[in-house]
């Protein structure tokens, strides 16, 4: 089974702490996973940042919300125990504890949810967030992904409508920012008459002894680049007597094109529109960082 959204963990967390007395958060993660029958694969699944498991993240957020609502408390670092209000919630509360319910029964949690000022104008936003059933970390990551997807789509659309020369120079800049290219002429655009079927070259060493050639093709995003284009590029690489090539397009590659690239006895890397968008954003080509949000967490060593 997939890991449930984090609100599903709140009652099991509350119940296990009630049954076992003071318990360490890290021990609680295993206990609740056993209670919910999560598989080893579920338990090992990592959040997108890769610094903790999704299971630990959701148990920790469930515990945080229960503490903010006064149903759990932390008598010492990383230890949880139930309060009288928590025991009352187990007896008379719903089978599924949610953020919306915690807001109804706990004024302190309502203040926490709406912000320190308790601004009532934010109530609708909080309700929408609660309905999404995401932890704050997950909500931030989801919003970031949506922004990147929209930005990537716009970047590719603009490249499709730009001139061929502009697109070729964009790919050159991207490759250089990715760390490819050495020497005075790290990478050059060769597009135009007499380019012998390639659009640019990247020097992998200072003297340009080892080189990679690239092909940059602008197509509408609904078009699939076929195997013929790959064979043409392969032929161009053979004329240059090189073994490495990069084929970049704003469109996508057909299955036959990908199979052709795998079978050719030259190393040809394929970058389609979706991957191109991710790389442009990652290496800040054609876009820039507008805002940076810092998310802080407790420094446990400080409290030792």
Domain of 69, CATH number, reads 1.10.10
Note whether 196 and 108 are same-domain residues: no
Q: Is 302 domain-assigned?
A: no
Q: Is residue 39 part of a domain?
A: yes
Say how many domains are in the chain: 2
User: Could you tell me where the DSSP H helices lie in 98-254?
Assistant: 99-105, 107-114, 123-132, 136-161, 164-177, 227-240
Position 142 in a domain: no
Q: Tell whether 143 is covered by a domain.
A: no
Q: Which structural domain range is residue 91 located in? A: 6-134
What's the alpha-carbon Rg for the chain, to the nearest Å? Answer: 27
Can you give the CATH number for the domain in which 163 is found? 3.40.1350.10
8-state DSSP, 5: P
Assess whether 176 and 107 both reside in one domain. Answer: no
Report helix, strand and coil shares of the chain as percent, to nearest 5: 55, 15, 35
Q: Are residues 99 and 205 in the same domain?
A: no
Same domain as 128, residue 34? yes
- φ, ψ for residue 201 (rounded to 5)? -135, 140
111 within domain boundaries: yes
pTM of the predicted structure, to 2 decimals:
0.65
Task: Per residue of the chain (304 residues), give pLDDT as tens.
Answer: 678 888 999 999 999 999 998 999 889 999 999 999 999 999 999 887 777 888 998 998 899 889 989 999 988 878 899 999 999 999 999 999 998 899 899 988 887 776 544 444 444 444 454 445 677 887 788 788 878 888 888 899 889 988 988 999 999 889 888 888 765 667 778 765 445 678 888 887 776 667 788 999 999 888 899 999 999 999 888 888 888 899 999 999 999 999 998 888 778 999 999 999 999 999 999 998 887 888 888 887 887 7
Taking alpha carbons only, the member of 17, 187, 4, 163 closest to residue 86 is 17
DSSP lists the bridge partners of residue 188 as 201
Give the CA angle between residues 231, 237, 241 to the nearest 5°: 140
18 and 95 belong to one structural domain: yes
Question: How far is the C-alpha of 9 from the C-alpha of 138, rounded, in Å?
Answer: 15
* Residues 117 and 190 placed together within one structural domain of the fold: no
**Residues whose CB falls within 8 Å of the CB of residue 178, separated by 6 or more in sequence, listed in order:** 279, 283
Give the DSSP H/E element, type plus range, for residue 188: strand 187-189
Residue 303 counted as domain residue: no
Q: Identify the residue whose tokens are 């449930």.
A: 4
Same domain, 119 and 176: no
SS3 3: coil
* Residue 288: inside a domain: no
Does residue 198 lie within any of the structural domains?
yes
92 and 161 part of one domain: no
């Amino acid at each position: 089974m997939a890991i449930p959204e984090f609100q599903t963990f709140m009652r099991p967390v509350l119940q296990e702490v009630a049954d076992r007395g003071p318990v360490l958060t890290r021990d609680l993660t295993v206990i609740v996973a056993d209670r919910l029958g999560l598989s080893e694969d579920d338990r090992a699944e990592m959040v997108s940042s890769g610094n903790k498991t999704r299971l630990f993240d959701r148990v920790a957020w469930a515990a945080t919300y229960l503490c903010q609502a006064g149903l759990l408390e932390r008598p010492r670092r990383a230890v949880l125990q139930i309060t009288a209000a928590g025991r009352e919630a187990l007896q008379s509360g719903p089978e599924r504890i949610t953020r919306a319910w915690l807001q109804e029964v706990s004024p302190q949690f309502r203040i926490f949810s709406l912000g320190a000022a308790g601004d009532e104008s934010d109530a609708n936003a909080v309700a929408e967030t609660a309905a999404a059933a995401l932890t704050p970390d997950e909500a931030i990551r989801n919003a970031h992904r949506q922004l990147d997807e929209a930005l990537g789509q716009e970047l590719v659309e603009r490249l499709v409508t730009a001139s061929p020369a502009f697109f070729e120079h964009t790919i050159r800049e991207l490759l250089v920012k990715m760390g490819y290219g050495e020497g005075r002429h790290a990478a050059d655009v060769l597009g135009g008459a007499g380019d012998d079927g390639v659009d640019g070259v990247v020097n992998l060493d200072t003297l340009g002894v080892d080189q990679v050639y690239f092909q940059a093709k602008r197509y509408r995003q609904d078009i699939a680049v076929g195997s013929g284009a790959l064979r043409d590029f392969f032929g161009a690489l053979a004329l240059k007597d090189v073994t490495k090539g990069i084929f970049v397009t704003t469109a996508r590659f057909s299955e036959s094109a990908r199979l052709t690239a795998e079978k050719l006895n030259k190393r040809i890397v394929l970058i389609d529109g979706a991957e191109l968008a991710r790389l442009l954003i990652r290496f800040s080509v054609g876009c820039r960082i507008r805002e940076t949000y810092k998310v802080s967490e407790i420094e446990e060593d400080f409290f030792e």
